[in-house]
Amino acid sequence: MQLGLIGLGKMGGNMRERLRLGGHEVVGYDRNREVSDAASVQEMIDALEAPRTVWVMVPAGEITRGVIEDLSNRLEPGDLVIDGGNSRFSDDEINAELLKAKGIEYLDCGVSGGIWGLKNGYGLMVGGTKKNVARAMPIFDTLRPEGPRDEGFVHAGKVGAGHYVKMVHNGIEYGLMQAYAEGYELLEKKGIVTDVPGSFKAWSRGTVVRSWLLDLMVAALEANPDLDDVSDYAADSGEGRWTVEEGIANAVPMPVITASLFARFASRQEVSPAMQAVAALRGGFGGHAVLTTAEGQELRAESSREAAAKAVTAKGKKRSGKKS
């Protein structure tokens, strides 16, 4: 099957390779001329036989909307556009209506798999009509993992459903990562535990917390057991926020996902205004000392040094006990 693919970054480039390995003809376009197959979007379109299928794999938001608007002016009735980026589900209906006015079909596809998708395949969550899903199924079947289709692909529902399911998937991912991270910190703090990477690895088979995320955690700890020189600044792509917003809009309690999102916000604060307010209040009602920023940083550093020293001492005693 022929496919036009706009956006050849980390995921888009790997998807192009996986599709080609699966026997498909892919004509890719990217602003980076070094990776692009075509010199322009129009050249990519001209290289495809009608009715065409064009997959958009660019950053969500204004960039995706701009690309789809441009395609609406270039493609012909009967062509199909698939948005495989991390677009907000509410954008899909707008995109679909824009294209429908020109006789162009539309699918939204949530894609999970990251940089490992080339080898392992991608989890796909699609929204749109059954007719359009069937039309693009050869592409989906090549991109998804090997095995039963329903274990790596779902036609989730109407336009927007694919990105909605991917949004919730990413919200769950936030919660899972935060739980593993908190467990790591506690194991690191307790001096009687001398093999934190091994402890995580021991959960890899037979336990209820085994997962691919756990496998990635094990790999990271084996490469860098103390996570030396790893910044604690954690970004968010937006889908966690949208998940929480949808929880509020639909009166669904989501304390775990919400807390994990807020933990990412906290990671970006060198100084917490909220905790500054707490310190000021403690000084107001209880006469507790209100420290300057410098004094607080020194206490924080001292606390970290003491905790590290205790952990090293406890681990040293544990190792000595093993030798005796």
> What is the token pair recorded at 196?
């934190």
CA distances from 107 to 2, 6, 140 (A): 17, 15, 12
**Catalytic residue selected from 173, 188, 315, 318:** 173
> How far is it, in rounded angstroms, from Cα 5 to Cα 47?
12
Q: What type of residue is 125?
A: M
Annotation says 166 is catalytic: yes
> How far is it, in rounded angstroms, from Cα 88 to Cα 162?
10
CA distances from 319 to 77, 151, 187, 222, 223 (A): 72, 45, 16, 19, 22
Residue 154 phi, psi (nearest 5): -145, 135
> How far is it, in rounded angstroms, from Cα 291 to Cα 294?
8
Q: What type of residue is 160?
A: G
Query: What ranges in the chain are assigned the alpha helix state H?
Result: 10-21, 41-46, 62-72, 89-100, 117-120, 130-143, 161-189, 196-201, 212-223, 239-249, 255-267, 273-286, 293-323
Give, to the nearest 10 degrees, the angle between helix 212-223 and helix 161-189: 40
Annotation says 69 is catalytic: no
Query: CB of 19 within 8 A of CB of 143?
Result: yes
Q: List, in sequence order, every residue forming a beta bridge with 19; answer none if it has no partner.
A: none
CA angle 262, 239, 41 (to 5 degrees): 145
Q: Which residues are catalytic?
A: 166, 173
